[in-house]
Structure 1
Amino acid sequence: MSNTENPQETLPASETPVDPGVEAATAPAAEDHTDKLPSIEEQFRELELQAAEHHDAWLRAKAEGENIRRRAQEDISKAHKFAVERFAGELLAVKDSLEAALAVPEQTVESFKSGVELTLKQLVAAFEKNALNEVSPAGEKFDPHKHQAIGMVDSEQEPNTVVTVLQKGYTIADRVLRPALVMVAKGK
């Protein structure tokens, strides 16, 4: 091959012809690239601003969390304080009935008994509305979670069966408020 066919093949690398337009385009680009990079001080200021923003957001979130916690504690306190309010409202009618019965100047046994029965119905209705349920376990198997055994008696029933209920128990929303006092059958 001769030098005239492909001049670039024979020229050394340092003598390779360069297009002047390409050289002019690449030189300013390199200078522009270094001019566009922010200085370390500018980067540091920008990072400080971001850190301050994050710190401020964290402080606000922390304060909001504390406010939520405080409000929840206040709500719990109010719930404890006023939880009995609905039930107390129901009991006011029972108290009014008892006071009215005592205010009657001439009472007969029958009128007194019917007044007490009506008052008891009001009380039972108030209990039912507030999930206060009676536990009367006569004939049931003894359950130490719901019953309190006072003693054991001889009986024809199976051992550990409730024979007599001395005092009814009560649950409120499936939680024992007062266990039933019972007598339990002895084993044979």
Structure 2
Amino acid sequence: MSTEQQKPPVEETDVAVEAEASPDVEVELSEPQGLEADIARLEAELQQAKDTALRAAAEAQNARRRAEQDVEKAHKFGQEKLVQDMLVVADNLERALANVNADDEAMKSVAEGLELTLKSLIDGLKRHQVVQINPVGEPFDPNLHQAMTQVPNPDMEPNTVMDVFQKGYTLHGRLVRPAMVVVSKAP
């Protein structure tokens, strides 16, 4: 037998392959309008399947991006509780330093030790993106400051920070503790 005799005609093969490839689709060659309707329906289903797949891929990408952002925030702000605890130590060192009599020769070395310890602590916090807020002379900002009291002062503009009871701090730009301040008001 030659190869020409073994191969069925091309038209018969195409119809047989189409029928085998999609058994759910009925192929009616006698009605061209029915085929056009089937083609339109199948194209619509294909478009809908493509749209669904595209939406699923976009949702997966968004979920991956949200997870990455959550991990980044956890790394960035996971140390916030530790920073808050360390701020208590810094406050205590500042209070101790303020109450040491530096005129007394015996206390002078204690004051120097407290200053060096406080500086070392603040420098360590700075290395981890903890920034001190000491807003004396700046306009009052309720996002960064907590007003403890208002005092009339003709020498300063109203709503200007006159004094700081307790310094505030931010971690990577996010407020950890507001500065507790005295604010000027018009006399």
The alignment's TM-score, normalised by the length of structure 2, stands at 0.50
If you compute each CA radius of gyration, which structure gives the higher value, 1 or 2? 1
The alignment's TM-score, normalised by the length of structure 1, stands at 0.50
Larger relative contact order (Cα-Cα within 8 Å, sequence gap ≥ 6):
2
